[in-house]
Amino acid sequence: MQKTYKKYFAVFVLPILTVYFIAFLFPLISGVYLSFTKFKTVSDAEFVGLSNYAFVFSDVRGFLSALKFTAKFTAVSMVTTNLFAFILALLLTKGVRGTNTFRTIFFMPNLIGGIVLGYIWQIVINGVLIKTVGVDITYSAKYGFWGMVILYNWQMIGYLMIIYIAGLQAIPSELMEAAEVDGANKWQVLKNIKLPLVMPAITICLFLTLSGGFKMFDQNFALTNGAPRNQTTMLALDIYNTYYKRIGFAGVGQAKAVVFTLMVVAITFLQVKLTRSKEVD
């Protein structure tokens, strides 16, 4: 058997390996290389050592402020999206009338692209703010922050809800019946049966929202585009602005992207490890 595998290695694995190398590994490696250079086009890169990275870590009003804002946003929205999604999932596994209709409705915002959602929510939020406070979303970073949290919740809750519903429905009914016979109340059932058994779903959902929040771009771009005064720029948008809008800063943008990638990988790796340890088999 082993021999046959080896024999056909080239036929089955080589094509996809080539694609993986061309489309993933090679850009990744050349991206890391370019972060140490100054370049206009990829072919005329000039090595400049660590100066790009030095700029990144001293870019107080750019990268570092974006990092702070992104971390705050991700922390808040990770909690709210998962909380609301889980509550909805609990409600919609109770067998209420019209369950399927509700599930569809809650899932639908996820089908709309981030740019479109961003513009729609911009109109909604501006409408409310102008009516009540007499200013618009560019007035304060607070408005931009909560606007993005609302938008992200709106978009993600339905998707996470479906994952949680799948997790809840996979719980064997014997367990629930046994708990009922033993006289466990609803809170005890939730805490001792449902939560531990949907832990894999929680791992997935936390991973999705954590990495999604960190990597968020189009919603940010459409809703606030950094206003006011770059205070609501998230990491991805800051990288984009550095790379495309500042002449001669492509290398710095590349360095930011490398730092960004490492950060997202490290944080999500840590999170998956932590929540995995809580899962029960």
Partner 1 sequence: MKKFSILLVIMLLFSMFTTAVTAEETGSIYFLNYKPEVTEAFEKIAKAYQDETGVPTRVVTAASGTYAQTLTKEMDKEEAPTIFVVDSPLMFSQWQSYTADLTDSKLASFLADDTYTMKADDKIYGISYALEAWGIIVNKDILNKYFEMEGKATEVSSIDDLYTFANLKAVVEDMQANKDKLGIEGVFASTSMKPGDDWRFQTHLMNTPLYWEFDKDIDLAGEIPSFEFKYAENFKNIFDLYLNNSIIDRKLVGQKTVSDSMAEFSLGKCAMVQNGDWSWGQITGTEGTVVKPEDIGFIPITIGVEGEEEMGLSVGASQYMCINKNATEANQKASLEFLEWLFSSDMGKEFVAKDLQFVTPFTTMADAEYTNYLFASENEITAKGKKGYPWVVSLIPSDQWKSNYGANLLAYAQEQIDWEEVVQLAVEDWAIEAEIVNATK
**Which residues contact partner 1 by CB under 8 A?**
126, 130, 134-140, 225-230, 245-248
Report in angstroms how near the CB of residue 248 gets to partner 1 at its nearest.
Answer: 6
Report in angstroms how near the CB of residue 265 gets to partner 1 at its nearest: 29
Report the Cα 255 to chain-centroid distance in Å. Answer: 21
Choice between 106 and 238, CB closer to partner 1:
238
Q: How far apart are CB 245 and partner 1 at their closest, in Å?
A: 6
In angstroms, what is the minimal distance from the CB of 62 to partner 1? 9
Q: What is the 3-state secondary structure (H, E, C) of 48-102?
A: CCCHHHHHHCCCHHHHHHHHHHHHHHHHHHHHHHHHHHHHHHHHCCCCCCCHHHH
CA distances from 86 to 157, 205, 210, 269 (A): 9, 10, 16, 23
Comparing CB distances to partner 1, the nearer of 83 and 130 is 130
Q: Output the smallest distance, CB 254 to partner 1, in A.
A: 17
Q: Which CB, 158 or 251, lies closer to partner 1?
A: 251
Complex with partner 1: residue 209 or 242, whichever CB lies closer: 242
Which of the 8 DSSP states describes residue 37? E
Closer residue to partner 1 in complex, CB, 16/247:
247
Rg (C-alpha) for the chain, rounded Å, is: 23
Beta carbons of 46 and 39 less than 8 angstroms apart: yes
Encoding tokens for residue 55? 């700029």
Closest CA to 148 of 171, 166, 121, 176: 121
